[in-house]
Chains A and B, each alone.
Chain A
Amino acid sequence: MIQFLIKRFIGLIFVIIGVTFITFIMGYFAPGDPIAFMLGQHFTTAQYVSLRHYYGLDLPWYQQYFNFLKNLVTLNFGLSYEIKGRAVIDILKDGVPISLELGLWALFLQVIIGVPVGIFSALKANTWIDTTNQGIVLFMYAIPSFVLAVFAQVIIIALDQGTGINWPVSQWGTPWQYSWSDIQFKLVPILVYAAIGIAYFARLSRTTMLEVLRQDYVRTARAKGMRERVVIYRHALRNAMIPLVTVIGVSVGFLVTGAFFIEQIFNIPGIADITIASISSRDYPVIQATTVMLAIAVVLANLVSDILYTIVDPRIKLA
């Protein structure tokens, strides 16, 4: 197990280096001169040089990269270009709990809703229930999240006008609080955010369950006289779950992309939203920081799913 972890960790390091390097290089070659921008119309050479030095931009590129990496370890994402001397982490820190709340709930719902729907579909394969499910799931999977978000908003507004419920269609309540008002703000964005993942898990669990039900050992279980419920929920399900564990990384990937769209349409002040705003003010360190954070999140999720896979499937020997 230790050997396996070490190997994976080294792979992880390589990927992180790759991602951080590309992110850094893009920032290095970014057009425009942030120092001049910050100093405004009139400035002396001395002021320019000292500000440049303050931001470490007079160092050779490899040293800048090294500092970049070194700082990352301490979660220091550098300084903002928009407001002199303001730390990037400062800008982002309010958005982190919000994006985290959105993401974790979405991930939770994806599994809690998606998997049972898929299993149910598999058990009722080729009936009208299955066909209907497949249709709905296809819809949720193929349509982009921002379109679903818009549809959801329109529906809520129509409901508001029709029944006077008055649910909000944008913004977020208080992070990690769940009063009725908070739920009103959060329920729909989370559901829309989770939709594509729910569809993905539903399709996948349906496929794996059908595959498992065809296996010989399911037939053996029946021949042993096990009741049908035991056959399905103990013998079959346990095997069908295994491949699902391996796609946790993929679904976190969906979440990362979706974050930008959901936060945009629903006007939620998470880190994706803040990042987009920073782009228009050319505050590149912010987007570098967000990119690195999100990429590492996905890489870690992949690592977790690999580890879970070895735990859950007794056939996997950790060579």
Chain B
Amino acid sequence: MAENLLEVNNLKTYFFTRAGVVKAVDDVSFSMQPGETLGVVGESGCGKSVTALSVMRLVATPPGKITGDILFNGDNIMDKNRDELTELRGSKISMIFQDPMTSLNPVFTIGYQIAETVKRHRKDLSNDQAWKRAIEMLDLVRIPDAKRRARNFPHEFSGGMRQRVMIAIALACNPQLLIADEPTTALDVTIQAQVLELMKGLSKEFGTAVMLITHDLGVVAATCEYVNVMYAGHIVESAPVKQIFETPAHPYTVGLLHSIPRLDDQRGVRLNPIAGQPPDLLNPPPGCPYAPRCPKVQLRCRQERPELKPVGRGEQVAACFYPD
């Protein structure tokens, strides 16, 4: 088996606040292969964004604290110092964020912002070459009239185009892993589809692995090969995308799928939200974090925390006592 591109072992990211310790990511382990597209799904506050930020070590470390191992191509990111991390970011691992309206610096042209990354990681290139590369990238993400528009400022672009620019910046140095944190949540539905398609195409073309974080199962279905389902800082289920949708094992995943209204639902049919609230990450209950809301809860669930174990066929794993 090929060496894992990314291997995350026992990642814990805690935040030490005046009110207590917030366990945003509580012992998470997973891995990614080169070129793989992994979706990370869950509600707001489940820890999916923090996981991504922790991989890049972009979390503010006071008040946060990261423990565990993050192996990228065999190297542990947790052992790297500040300089090594800045070498890694933008060139081997890139990240794009949710809100394209505020993610670009308003006082620099977009061409400059792309070229800046290029110049940072490809010291062998001249300014001209970096600028040319910037225009190339703009063409790649299908910004029309790239040569002229490279001299425009972010406020002269729409949201969808700004997100494409972000993608251009992220892919400019041909990273092996692209982390996309809710890249389409802030965009119109039609633009969403375009941007996702773009990302999918580019990742195939350049062999870039993509970690796509989202709360939208539809996005996952359209773009991902594997899926991690997260809840309250834990991964509760992980499987190839088909199995998640066809044979979901964990009650949370089941609940999520059932809560999505379908086009072919009859009128007047009630929606099925999952009852209850996500837990307080300051004082998580012992045992399974989903226990308070789980329709299949047993006594055991409130006392022990279930580990991820294989379920069903193939690579599917889920953290639940229920199948027993």
Direct contact between A and B in the complex (CB less than 8 angstroms)?
yes
Q: Which residues of A contact B (CB under 8 A)?
A: 215-217, 219-228, 235, 238-239, 242, 313-315
* Residue among A217, A225, A315 with max Cβ neighbours from chain B (10 Å): A225
* Residue of chain A at shortest CB distance from B175: A225
Contact B117 A225 (CB under 8 A): yes
Binary flags per residue of B50-93, CB closer than 8 Å to A gives 1, else 0: 00000010100000000000000000000000110111111100
Determine the distance from Cα of A40 to Cα of B132 in the docked complex, in whole angstroms: 84
Q: A216-B97, A219-B97, A315-B153 are in contact. Are A225 and B121 (CB under 8 A)?
A: yes
Residues A225 and B107 in contact in the complex (CB < 8 Å), given A216-B97, A217-B102, A220-B97:
no
7 inter-chain pairs at a CB distance below 8 angstroms, sorted by A residue, are A223-B97, A224-B94, A225-B85, A225-B87, A239-B106, A242-B107, A314-B155
Report chain A residues within 8 Å CB of B105: 217, 220-221, 235, 238-239
In the complex formed, the residue of A with least CB distance to B101 is: A216
Q: Known contacts being A216-B99, A219-B97, A315-B153, is A224 close to B169, with CB within 8 Å?
A: yes
Contact A227–B102 (Cβ < 8 Å): no
Q: Which residues of A contact B107 (CB under 8 A)?
A: 238-239, 242, 313-314
Contacting residues, chain B, for A215 (C-beta < 8 A): 102
* Chain A residues whose C-beta falls within 8 Å of the C-beta of B147 in the assembled complex: none
Complex interface bits, B119-156 against A, C-beta within 8 A gives 1, otherwise 0: 01100000000000000000000000000000001010
Report Cα–Cα, A313/B116, bound state, in Å.
Answer: 20
User: Are B106 and A314 closer than 8 Å at their CB atoms?
Assistant: yes
What's the least CB distance linking A222 to chain B, in Å? 6
Complex Cα gap A314–B157 (Å) = 13
Cα distance, A106 to B53, chains bound together (Å): 46
CB distance from A269 to the nearest CB of B (A): 45
The distance from the CB of A93 to the nearest CB of chain B, in whole angstroms, is 44
Given A216-B97, A217-B105, A242-B107: 13 more A-B contacts, CB < 8 Å: A215-B102, A216-B102, A220-B103, A221-B105, A222-B89, A225-B90, A225-B117, A225-B120, A227-B83, A228-B82, A239-B105, A313-B106, A315-B106
Q: Are B121 and A216 in contact (CB under 8 A)?
A: no
Total number of B residues with any Cβ neighbor in A under 8 Å: 30
Chain B residues, CB < 8 A from A227: 83, 86
Q: B28: CB under 8 A from chain A?
A: no
- Are B86 and A225 touching (Cβ within 8 A)? yes
B308 at the interface (CB under 8 A from A): no
Question: How many residue pairs bridge A and B at CB < 8 Å?
Answer: 71
Q: With a CB–CB cut-off of 8 A, which chain B residues contact A217?
A: 102-106
Say yes or no: is B213 at the interface (Cβ < 8 Å to chain A): no
- Given known A219-B97, A314-B155, contact A224–B117 (CB-CB < 8 A): yes
Task: Check A225 against B89 for contact (C-beta < 8 Å).
Answer: yes
In whole angstroms, what is the CA distance A235 to B116 when docked?
11
Q: Is the CB of B116 within 8 A of A226?
A: yes
Tell me the complex Cα distance, A223–B89, Å: 6
Docked-complex contact B120 and A224, CB < 8 angstroms? yes
A317 to B88, CA, bound (A): 38
A-binding residues in B (CB < 8 A): 56, 58, 82-83, 85-91, 94-95, 97, 99, 102-108, 116-117, 120-121, 153, 155, 166, 169
Q: Choose among B82, B83, B99, B105 the residue with the greatest number of A CB atoms under 10 Å from its CB.
A: B105
A166 to chain B, nearest CB (A): 50
What is the distance, in angstroms, from A28's C-beta to the closest C-beta of chain B?
50
Across the interface, which residues of A come within 8 angstroms of B155, CB to CB?
A: 314-315
Q: In the complex, A67→B121 CA distance in Å?
A: 68
Who on chain B is nearest to A238 by CB?
B107
In the bound complex, CA of A131 to CA of B235 (Å): 42
Q: Nearest CB to that of A224 among chain B residues?
A: B90
Give the chain A neighbours of B87 by CB distance below 8 A. 225
Chain B residues with CB below 8 A from A228, complex form: 82, 86
B312 to chain A, nearest CB (A): 37
The distance from the CB of B115 to the nearest CB of chain A, in whole angstroms, is 11
Tell me how far the C-beta of B104 lies from the nearest C-beta in chain A, rounded to whole angstroms: 6
Nearest CB of B to A2, in Å: 22
- Chain B residue nearest to A226 in the complex (CB): B120
Chain B nearest CB, measured from A221 CB (Å): 7
Bound Cα distance from A315 to B152, whole angstroms: 11
A212: min CB distance to chain B, Å: 10
Give Cα A221 to B56, complex, Å: 13
A224 to B104, CA, bound (A): 11
How far is B249's CA from A28's CA once the two chains are assembled, in angstroms? 92
Chain B neighbourhood of A313, CB < 8 A: 106-107
CB distance from A124 to the nearest CB of B (A): 13
Q: Which residues of A contact B90 (CB under 8 A)?
A: 223-226
Residue of A nearest to B56 (CB): A223
Separation of A103 and B83 alpha carbons in the complex (Å): 45
Q: How far is the CA of A223 from the CA of B104 in the complex (A)?
A: 12
Give the complex CA separation of A223 and B94 in angstroms.
7
Across chains A and B, which 5 residue pairs bring their CB atoms closest together, nearest first?
A225-B90, A225-B89, A224-B90, A216-B102, A217-B105
Complex CA distance for A227 and B104, rounded to whole angstroms? 17
Cβ of B120 and Cβ of A223 under 8 Å apart? no
A225 to B102, CA, bound (A): 18
What is the minimal beta-carbon distance from A312 to any residue of chain B, in angstroms? 8
Question: Chain A: which residue is nearest B106 at the CB level?
Answer: A315
User: Which of A219, A224, A227, A228 is the most central at the interface, judged by chain B CB atoms within 10 Å of its CB?
Assistant: A224
A222 touches B106 (CB 8 A): no
Q: How far is the CB of B152 from chain A (nearest CB, A)?
A: 9
Task: Compute how far the CA of A239 lies from the CA of B104 in the bound complex, rounded to whole angstroms.
Answer: 12
Query: Min CB distance, A241 to chain B, in Å?
Result: 9
